Amino acid sequence: MKIENILPILLISLLTSCALAPSEPYKFYSGPRVDPSSTSIVKPMRTFGGPAIIINAVDGKYSLDYESMYGYPQNETSANRLEPQAILLAPGEHNFKIKFTFTDVVNKLEMITLLTLIGSSPVKNATFQKTADIHFLTDAGKTYTIRYLWNKSKGEKGITFYVEACDNSGQHCTEAPSTASNELSQIIPGTLSAQQLLSK
Q: Lowest-confidence range among 3-12, 162-171, 184-193? A: 3-12
The Cα-based distances of 130 to 45, 85, 90, 92, 188 in angstroms read 14, 18, 27, 26, 11
Angle (CA) 62-67-71 rounded to 5° is: 90
What is the share, in percent, of the chain residues with pLDDT greater than 70?
Answer: 78
Q: How many domains does the chain have?
A: 1
Predicted structure pTM score: 0.82
Give 125-165 pLDDT, tens digit per residue.
Answer: 778 889 999 999 999 999 999 999 988 777 777 889 999 99
Taking alpha carbons only, the member of 151, 153, 182, 177 closest to residue 164 is: 177
Between residues 185 and 142, which one has the greater pLDDT?
142
Q: What backbone phi and psi angles, to 5 degrees, belong to 83? A: -70, 160
Average pLDDT over residues 34-54: 90
Q: Which domain holds residue 67?
A: 3-197
Average pLDDT over residues 40-53: 90
How far, in Å, CA of 163 to CA of 122, rounded? 38
3-state secondary structure 140-154: CCCEEEEEEEECHHH
